[in-house]
């Protein structure tokens, strides 16, 4: 494993331009999945990348995963992947691959500590969809550099079973004083990244409503996260 102070960046051996977007659900299914997939395709194309969208868990094997620059879990829920698939995904990232989890990616595979470690935290609950203020903690990261220091945004602000700070680099936190029903207190991370072996994982809990996927600020946030996952830009993912 690289030293914690190193940048989470590597040149992957996978086929350039291939991003796997996985949207299988075994629980709640978000109605924003179709527009989100379209938005990711547009973001990828703007970065000279292409996506392959699937809900087939059979793609999670070492030979298939080696083709991709990054894997995106978009609104995946429940037990949408078996233990062999999780192990293949984790090995792919440890060996230099990239993982991007979006929103409900944390609401999945509750029995897998391997998957929980890959995402960084596990979903616990959320209040109603409502506006709140997000605070940028790392303005140099590609996922947060385009955002204002305090960003007003409409979303489902997830509470997590544990606070990941200390094991991840927190990029955004949500100010619980600006919305109703938060349960994590004054330190409420909502997006982060961390090194996983020679690879990198980045997660954002945002993206629940369909409206997010046409919001320029949110799309810039996702674009930066995808660039990090695909090793298009470096990112300091040292825990803070």
The pLDDT, as a whole number, for residue 9 is: 32
The pLDDT, as a whole number, for residue 13 is: 34
Looking at the chain, the whole-number percentage of residues with pLDDT higher than 70 is 93
How much is the average pLDDT of 229-236?
96
The pLDDT, as a whole number, for residue 15 is: 38
Provide the 10 A C-beta neighbour count for residue 222. Answer: 24
For residue 97, give Cα distances in angstroms to 18, 49, 65, 198. Answer: 12, 15, 9, 8
d(CA 66, CA 6) in angstroms, rounded, equals 24
Using alpha carbons only, give the angle 226, 86, 173 rounded to the nearest 5 degrees: 45
Domains of the chain: 18-229 (3.40.50.880)
Lowest mean pLDDT among 5-9, 69-73, 112-116, 143-147: 5-9
DSSP state of 23: -
The pLDDT, as a whole number, for residue 1 is: 29
Lowest mean pLDDT among 10-19, 91-100, 168-177: 10-19
pLDDT band for position 10 (50/70/90)?
Answer: very low
Strand partners, 238: none
Q: Does residue 17 register a pLDDT over 70?
A: no
Mean pLDDT of the residues in the chain: 93
Tens of pLDDT, residue by residue over 40-86, are 999 999 999 999 999 999 999 999 999 999 999 999 999 999 999 99
């Amino acid at each position: 494993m690289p030293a914690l102070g190193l940048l989470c960046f590597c040149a992957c051996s996978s086929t350039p331009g291939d991003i796997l977007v996985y949207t299988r659900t075994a629980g709640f299914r978000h109605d924003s999945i179709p527009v989100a997939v379209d938005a990711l395709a547009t973001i990828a194309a703007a970065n000279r990348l292409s996506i392959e969208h699937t809900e087939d868990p059979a793609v999670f094997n070492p030979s298939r995963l080696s083709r991709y620059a990054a894997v995106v879990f978009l609104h995946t829920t429940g037990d949408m992947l078996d233990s062999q698939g999780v192990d293949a995904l984790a090995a792919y990232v440890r060996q230099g691959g990239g993982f991007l989890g979006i929103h409900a990616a944390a609401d999945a595979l509750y029995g897998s500590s391997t998957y929980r470690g890959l995402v960084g935290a596990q979903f616990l609950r959320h209040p109603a969809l409502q506006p709140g203020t997000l605070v940028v903690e790392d303005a140099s990261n590609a996922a947060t550099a385009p955002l204002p220091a305090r960003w007003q945004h409409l979303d489902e602000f997830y509470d997590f079973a544990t606070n990941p700070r200390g094991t991840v680099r927190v990029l955004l936190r949500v100010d619980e004083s600006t919305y109703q029903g938060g349960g994590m207190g004054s330190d409420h991370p909502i997006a982060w990244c961390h090194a996983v072996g020679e690879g990198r994982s980045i997660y954002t809990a945002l993206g629940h409503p369909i409206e997010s996927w046409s919001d320029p600020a949110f799309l810039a946030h996702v674009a930066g996260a995808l660039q990090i996952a695909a090793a298009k830009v470096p990112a300091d993912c040292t825990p803070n």
